[in-house]
Structure 1
């Protein structure tokens, strides 16, 4: 999907910021770039959409050099989310989301449908929030708009530069959960820069740790924590433990089906079938059983004991793999 082949970037009369980078990011992968300040992670990210041009080497998207793309075509197919969302203050939320589809000359009906679809996807009712101005939203709500604005024209790739770092801890954790749940639906290729190791371990399918413009180690959260490549990686990760995050977690496979047509959602907490593992565990901490819905229809019941057995099996499997 995205390939860096011997890519370097020089600033200030030859000072290397990124050095001979070889890296492949797979289609549909949530890929994290992390490292100390000055490690080259943001420069690497910005080379993907040519906000920064590479100095040497080759950068390919879908097998085609990025220099061979029309720059507008390239950037329209790459959503970009920043730490400072920079919504246009004079425009409504709906107008902010519609910017790129309008530039691509989508018809109005298609744009309206897309805006409504995306707002509902992040829990912001279009009829309530669509005509509000950015100043009328909380920081976390504005950040959600920033994420779905990047998705508006349905790009293949989303790049995110420390998008949650300015938020308070509660809003940040909620948005981390939301982006994991969202990724299960959209299945985009996401390249995400962060300086927070816990965030990286929670979100990433794979993580690249950078230092002085070079990649020190690439691996899954478990590989980095349990098999660090050197002392730098071990020290950078510290004593952080990866969260229990199972990439192929499928809630529907754990459901019990009701034996009759008795309404099973009455008086019972309800959760979406696309909910993350963390969110599901949080709800089951307070409820013995919950009903699971898809598209507004109850499809089954999840029992706490079933979920605990599932988590136990996954932990046993992980411990077995680590001990091998």
Structure 2
């Protein structure tokens, strides 16, 4: 089905363009993409096994980290195999229903990831600002409730997105200037009025990622106020060191996420290849870096890794 003679209102198949302007470099770009994907799979699976096999790590922060790792595994696996197939075999075709499913998974899982990062920020707030009540506030029931609420929020708030796109007519083209199916990339192809759909998308973005980020900032303001009220510099540094890993995770996740979100809506002067490349980085780098950051910065996870490897070698 060629894009040039396509005249349907709702295509059976979309064609993924890849990274605009860099099509001839797709094979070379696929090499680091594939390596990062494999590292992401291995790092997250290793982290899950370490936390599962070490009872000392069955604490709120590490349980939330497990939820984050599972979400990362699902997010990368819903996109990277198709992206690599596009780069390696020029497999551009993606069925309309598959495209909508991929779009839903990307946005809902990203929302869940943001929610788990917020839950980890809340854990740091309680641990530092109310240390004596940490175990009574973050009980197993509360942790489970956080997890279920985060998953439900992502699943429910994003569930209208496929239907909002399903009912549109696509009379312009069936070529998606992207490496995967994304809400704004698809809605730009529609020939109908999309103001209400765009507005709903913005509202959902505010109620999820934007609100999460605001609450995370608030939690760290309270954490800093508590830390700087400590009597000694050594105590302040020791307390802040427990937040370093989480702060890096926040930066790695939200920096490309906000860049991609703002570029889609306001950054019309930014070259498409830069935007698409960063959008791919958003799906690749956080899932790989999250377990590595915690593995490098957290002594207990390093010890758990050594213990796990020792058990396997015996």
Q: Could you state the TM-score of these two structures normalised by the residue count of structure 2?
A: 0.23
Highest RCO, 1 vs 2 (Cα 8 Å, sep ≥ 6): 2
Q: Higher helix share goes to which structure?
A: 2
